[in-house]
Chains A and B, each alone.
Chain A
Amino acid sequence: MWTIFATSMKRKLQNPVVFVNYILLPLLLILILGNALSGVFQTGDKETKSSVISQISTVVVNEDSGDVGKNIVSFLSSEDNKEMFNVKVGSSSTQALKMLESGEVEQYIYLPKDLTSEYENNKNGNITVYGKDNNIEKVNITDLALSAYGDGYLAMEVASANNPNIVYSHEYSNMLAAPGTATEASTESGSNISAMSYYGVTMLVLILVYGLANTMNFVQEEYSEALGDRYLVSPISKTALIMGQFLTGCTISILQGAVIVFCAKLFFNVSYGDNMMFVFFIIIAGSIFFNALGLLLGVIGRRIKQVDGVVTLLIPVMTFVGGGFVKLDMGELSSISINEVFQRPLFDYIGQGVIDLMPVFTALIAAMGFVLIAVYSLTRKEAR
């Protein structure tokens, strides 16, 4: 086993192509993506993104004869919302549309004549906001504001069922962010993980996922045709052959993971939490899992050639999933997704200091199974 391991490691580290792919690639990955992402997400020490919405010039046409239409116009024109909306009241839909077309206003809000009765009868109203594509953000904000207003209105209706005056005497608070207010940008909803940490973690997991393809290809190359036959007719045991290759794959993956973490911390000050031992445990566990899976697929791929094609096709998918660019909603099976098994424990630890290694231990047990099946599959068909 040690002969196979030592020789394979020597071969990999001596080969410039392999060295570039295995060690320099992760380095480049973190440098390129890190730089790109730091430009997007990082401003000074705090990773925030500001969005400033200027005052929205608006024309409102109110055909509703009831109180809801009247209150909405009043709400939009209120002193509190003046910073956000510059409201003109239009006389007709045609006139309002012309104003929108000419650019005199940025949006047009139409309140239909049955708005109040619809609210009272169906708890629903059909307000239309017209805008242009280049102002879609503003239109969306107005939509949100009106929707919130509607919800508040209904809530007050319910609360003041026996005292209708309350509704009309209530002052609605400003539901919109004032200009200049910073909006926190976080890619991991519900957590306080920064964007750089998020990609620091996902790039780490991505490089571990690549261990699968690396080991699979290596096993296929080594055990196909004549070279594989030469290994198999030697007196060395199958377990030793397999473990030698497996150990090589794991070592390379651990090296890659360490390079990623080191560079992410060095160049981008990415936080991986206080205890680096935890991160390295995840690196080791991920290396074992993905290399064991690659080992199994490589051994199976010797006999079933289609396996290679399937894995090749899956590499882009693995890149997107493992790299955290997309998340697969696997429903009931989410507990076996890469995101849940390897990324989630790191996020939980970095974000909340919580250590939950159960999914990782499960993956390690699965990895043992993969190795055993790989050893069995490589069994020589010995003559009786």
Chain B
Amino acid sequence: MQTVFTGENIQFSYNKKKPVLKQLSLSVGDRQIYGLLGPNGAGKSTLTRVMLGLDKPQNGKIQWFNEHLNASTNKRVGYVPQDLALIYDLSAYENVLFFGKLYGLKGERLKKQVRFALEFVGLWEERKQKPKKFSGGMKRRLNIACGIVHNPDVIILDEPTVGVDPQSRNRILDAIIELNQLGTTVIYISHYMEEVERICSHVGIIDDGQLLCQGKLNDVIQEHTDQAIIRLELQRKSTAYSKQLEDYVVLLAEGNNVELGVPKNDVNAISQIKESFGEDVKNFQYITPNLEQVFFKLTRKNLRD
């Protein structure tokens, strides 16, 4: 698969004492939805700025489409910043039109692309309104429309669903999948685990300025998890079962709820647990290994810490 972005040994610090990015290497393939996952302060936004050339790394190599950053590569990359980058005294249509012009679109193609972008995010009907009258979700969608109007080969979306209602969030996520199906490579930066799991084909986990792992989502989960979770709701408080629990890896014991770690796909272990607790099990749940476990294993942090 062709690589659209390559970053090698990127070193960046705002002051020389504390590096924000530490010899970080990252590559994104064509037509992937690459989820860059990390807790707040991990270095995600700084990495984005460095990738876009807004900040210059002290060390390392960055290439887009096997070229150094230039006006030509800039035309092929779209950017949707985390904060809203809109002009509030222009209408939604004029906003998208303006950013289309900045990317060199003209005439009929410009009009066509503006319409496409606004329809894509579901704001064509509201095109004459100014964004200050929009809800948070609508503003986010307009922010995306401004980033995709020039039909980029790659779009970088930095936390595009922060602060939006579930309905708008679903709409945005569906739009991103659709955009990818139309041939656009998506780099999706988020700290929402479930969003990354839902839409991304590939994932990179970043913490403390370092890329801890990257690859296909399923491969990463398989590679970095060695156990599944059994979640039990018991008749009595977990303390009443201390003898039975001695035989297992207890991940959580709170009130009547217990979480136990078991080897992946180990059917015997599951049967054994059912036998041990017998009729006391009110509710039994087998949780397959997921990104959250990978993340916790690699960083020893919960994502929302």
Interface membership of B74, Cβ < 8 A: yes
Interface membership of A189, Cβ < 8 A: no
Q: Is B53 touching A230 in the complex (CB atoms < 8 A)? A: no
Alpha-carbon distance A384/B57, docked complex (angstroms): 8
Report if A233-B52 is in contact (Cβ < 8 Å); known contacts: A7-B90, A7-B98, A384-B57: yes
Partner of B74 from the list A7, A14, A233, A384 (CB cut-off 8 Å) is A233
Distance to closest chain A CB from B76 (angstroms): 9
Those of A224-257 within 8 Å (CB) of chain B: 225-227, 229-237
**Which of A127-135, A167-175, A375-383 sits within the interface?**
A375-383
Alpha-carbon distance A137/B130, docked complex (angstroms): 64
Report if A234-B56 is in contact (Cβ < 8 Å); known contacts: A226-B82, A382-B69: no
Chain B residues lying within 8 Å of A227, measured Cβ to Cβ, are: 85-87
Alpha-carbon distance A230/B191, docked complex (angstroms): 22
Those of B55-70 within 8 Å (CB) of chain A: 55-57, 60-62, 68-69
Q: Is A225 touching B83 in the complex (CB atoms < 8 A)? A: yes
Interface membership of A15, Cβ < 8 A: yes
Q: Is B99 touching A380 in the complex (CB atoms < 8 A)? A: no
Interface membership of A123, Cβ < 8 A: no
Alpha-carbon distance A382/B84, docked complex (angstroms): 23
Distance to closest chain B CB from A76 (angstroms): 73
Q: Is A383 touching B99 in the complex (CB atoms < 8 A)? A: no
Query: Is the interface on chain B under 10, 10 to 19, 20 to 34, or 35 or more residues?
Result: 35 or more
Alpha-carbon distance A112/B261, docked complex (angstroms): 114
Residue of B nearest to A232 (CB): B54
Partner of A229 from the list B79, B98, B102 (CB cut-off 8 Å) is B79
Interface membership of A3, Cβ < 8 A: yes
Q: Is A383 touching B50 in the complex (CB atoms < 8 A)? A: yes
Residue of A nearest to B61 (CB): A384
- Give the number of residues in A that approach B within 8 Å (Cβ atoms): 23
Interface membership of B96, Cβ < 8 A: no
Interface membership of B236, Cβ < 8 A: no
Interface membership of B264, Cβ < 8 A: no
Alpha-carbon distance A382/B56, docked complex (angstroms): 5
Interface membership of A265, Cβ < 8 A: no
Chain A residues lying within 8 Å of B82, measured Cβ to Cβ, are: 226
Interface membership of A11, Cβ < 8 A: yes
Q: Is A230 touching B81 in the complex (CB atoms < 8 A)? A: yes
Interface membership of B104, Cβ < 8 A: yes
Alpha-carbon distance A375/B212, docked complex (angstroms): 39
Q: Is B81 touching A229 in the complex (CB atoms < 8 A)? A: yes
Residue of A nearest to B100 (CB): A3
Alpha-carbon distance A236/B150, docked complex (angstroms): 13
Chain A residues lying within 8 Å of B56, measured Cβ to Cβ, are: 381-384
Pairs A–B under 8 Å by Cβ, sample size 25: A3-B101, A3-B102, A7-B87, A7-B98, A11-B87, A11-B90, A15-B89, A226-B82, A226-B84, A229-B54, A229-B81, A230-B81, A230-B147, A232-B54, A233-B77, A234-B102, A235-B71, A235-B104, A381-B53, A381-B56, A383-B57, A383-B62, A384-B56, A384-B60, A384-B62
A interface vs B, CB < 8 Å?
3, 7, 10-11, 14-15, 225-227, 229-237, 380-384
B interface vs A, CB < 8 Å?
49-57, 60-62, 68-69, 71-72, 74-75, 77, 79, 81-87, 89-90, 94, 98-99, 101-104, 146-147
What 4 A-B pairs are tightest by C-beta distance, nearest first?
Answer: A381-B56, A226-B85, A226-B83, A226-B81
